[in-house]
């Protein structure tokens, strides 16, 4: 594996399987009364969050703490960053503090890439602008494999032949970019379903299929992944109204009924209930939304463990 995790494209199929399999081993830890391993004792992980994202930050924080790492949370609000300090100076400060890994969330695409040029530790991209969010894709892949390949029975296998439909604002979605790359690396057949305005111009160069019609995709989907749609897109003329968007691309109960029986419904959160996903869908048995959150901690543990080269491998499998 590379030293940093910035793009899902950094991961070979072997790398991705190693992370998923490691996460599978770590998952059994979650059922134990004591959830902590000594693996990263004495190592420092910095959560560098320039954007508010409590759910992602606490997920990484829990992951690092369960591996016994020291965690420093650096939030841009109210810090020197708010006073105009540059990303580079922030990076040099963290470097001086001896961060072994920096988990960065930033509103600018490429921020994680830039940071990696300025620090010695490993950089984990926790979402950069409209570029990528690779650990989200890993936890999604982990969730898909568990649900459709039957838990530990899936260990060592990819997602070959699984048909995944990703729906919504692909153009602005870091989740979609990372998932297209990772899921196709793992052998899944990915289709993007969205209005043409919310697809990148050169989407035909991506390793996936494209459809403007959600209804024709649903009966052949094993997985439907709904993306959050931001209401402000409407003012930039990406779609005429939230109601029209919801009517054409929202997943309601009627649409869910068109899915095969085994199909699952995913959402990276936070959800707009009633816009891209109806409440009865979000709360249905097909929904993996709560599992995704739990799997996020496990998957991020695996990423930190593998990047930081923890020496005491957990004997949790025993």
Tell me which residues touch another protein (CB under 8 A). 86-88, 106, 108-111, 113-114, 128-132, 174, 177, 200-203, 205-206
Give the shortest CB-88-to-another protein separation in angstroms.
5
What CA–CA distance (Å, rounded) separates 24 from 317?
A: 9
- Least Å distance, CB 282 to another protein, is 27
Closer residue to another protein (CB): 28 or 211: 211
Our CB check for another protein shows the closer of 86 and 241 to be: 86
Query: Cα separation of 93 and 119, whole Å?
Result: 10
Measured CA distances, 278 to 225, 260, 300 (Å): 13, 18, 29
Cβ nearer to another protein, comparing 110 with 274: 110
Contact 167, 224 (CB under 8 A): yes
Cα gap 216→86, rounded to integer Å = 48
Distance (Å, whole) CA 286 – CA 264: 5
- Partners of 163 in the β-ladder: 189
Whole-angstrom Cα distance, residue 21 to residue 306? 11
| Rounded-to-integer distance, Cα 302 and Cα 56, Å | 15
- In the complex with another protein, which residue's Cβ is closer, 132 or 222? 132
Terminal-residue alpha carbon distance, the chain: 26
Contact in structure between 199 and 192 (CB atoms under 8 Å):
yes
Beta bridge partners of 210: 192
CB of 125 vs another protein, minimal distance in Å: 11
Minimum Å gap between C-beta 176 and another protein is 10
Q: Just list the catalytic residues.
A: 55-56, 83, 105, 133
* Residue pair 178/140 in contact by the 8 Å Cβ criterion: no
Task: Give the SS3 label for residue 150.
Answer: coil
Measured from the CB atom, is 127 or 250 closer to another protein?
A: 127
Shortest distance (Å) from residue 303 CB to another protein: 20
For another protein, the closer of residues 178 and 287 by Cβ is 178
Q: Would you state the torsion angle of the CA atoms of residues 140, 143, 147, 151, taken in this order, to the nearest 10 degrees?
A: 140
Smallest distance from the beta carbon of 208 to another protein, in angstroms? 12
């Amino acid at each position: 594996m590379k030293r940093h995790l910035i793009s899902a494209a950094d991961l070979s199929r072997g790398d991705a399987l190693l992370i998923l399999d490691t996460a599978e081993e770590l998952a059994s830890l979650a059922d134990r009364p004591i959830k902590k391993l000594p693996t990263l004792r004495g190592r420092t992980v910095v959560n560098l969050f320039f954007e508010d994202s409590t759910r992602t930050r606490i997920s990484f924080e829990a992951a690092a703490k369960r591996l016994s790492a020291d965690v420093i949370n650096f939030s841009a609000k109210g810090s020197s960053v708010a006073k105009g300090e540059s990303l580079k100076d922030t990076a040099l400060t963290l470097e001086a503090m001896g961060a072994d890994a920096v988990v960065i969330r930033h509103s600018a695409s490429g921020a994680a890439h830039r940071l990696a040029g300025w620090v010695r530790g490993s950089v984990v991209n926790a979402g950069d602008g409209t570029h990528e969010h690779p650990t989200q894709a890993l936890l999604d892949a982990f969730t898909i494999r568990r649900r459709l390949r039957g838990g530990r029975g899936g260990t060592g296998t990819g997602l070959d032949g699984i048909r995944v439909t990703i729906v919504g604002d692909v153009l602005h979605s870091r989740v979609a970019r990372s998932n297209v790359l990772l899921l196709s690396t793992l052998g899944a057949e990915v289709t993007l379903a969205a209005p043409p305005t919310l697809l990148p111009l050169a989407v035909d160069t991506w390793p996936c299929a494209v459809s403007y019609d959600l209804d024709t995709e649903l009966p052949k989907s094993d997985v439907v992944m709904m993306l959050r749609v931001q209401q402000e897109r409407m003012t930039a003329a990406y779609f005429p109204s939230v109601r029209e968007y919801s009517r054409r691309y929202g997943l309601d109960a009627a649409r869910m009924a068109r899915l095969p029986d085994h199909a699952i419904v995913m959402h990276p959160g936070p959800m707009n209930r009633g816009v891209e996903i109806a409440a009865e869908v979000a709360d249905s048995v097909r929904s993996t939304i709560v599992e995704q959150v739990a799997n996020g901690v496990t998957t991020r543990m695996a990423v930190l463990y593998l990047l930081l080269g923890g020496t005491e491998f957990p004997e949790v499998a025993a």
